[in-house]
Amino acid sequence: MILSGYAKTAVGEFLIRASKRGIVSINFPTKRRSDLSIPVSSQESLQHIKMCEKGLLRFFKGRQAELSGIPIDWQQFGTFDRRIYQALRNVPPGETICYGELARRSGFPKAARAVGNALNRNPVPILIPCHRVLRKDGSLGGFSSGIGWKRKLLHLDKKQNRTFHKRSN
């Protein structure tokens, strides 16, 4: 069973779905809200949603957010996608990677195009930061929720990176 909830951020309401193992999906804000008639599956699901909501609120306020610590339900992914997504979670805020390099780091050095397809299927954007993947020439490339969102997320990543470095010094 899956639990659904909303994270009300400065940029809109994100629909979050979680199982007892972790976050299953995050949907970007739209003009229409989905029905929240899915029953609670466990206390763990609720904790995952609350943790994700807290992280998204901090992120969209431009504050440092520990998004990499939010559990994801990895069982929903095949081996290829899981390896791509796990490698991508190691790319820190404020940094980017190209599709080919992500393919190489994931153990699939000739699969840059397949990496792009996997990122397009990513049901957990922001937690699996597919917005940090650029084309080899440095241009933005695509993004499942639109280039405007990709630009916004990259900008917020840079703010987080600056905040982290100020606190470290």
DSSP 50-74: HHHHHHHHHHHTT----GGGS-B-G
Dist CA 143 CA 78 (whole Å): 21
What are the CA-CA distances from residue 31 to residues 9, 14, 28, 108 (Å)?
A: 14, 11, 10, 38
CB–CB of 67/126 below 8 Å?
A: yes
Dist CA 167 CA 81 (whole Å): 34
Bridge pairing between strands 133-134 and 97-98: parallel
Query: Is 52 annotated in the active site?
Result: no
Dist CA 134 CA 118 (whole Å): 14
> Which of 65, 72, 84, 130 is flagged as catalytic?
130
- Residues forming the active site: 130
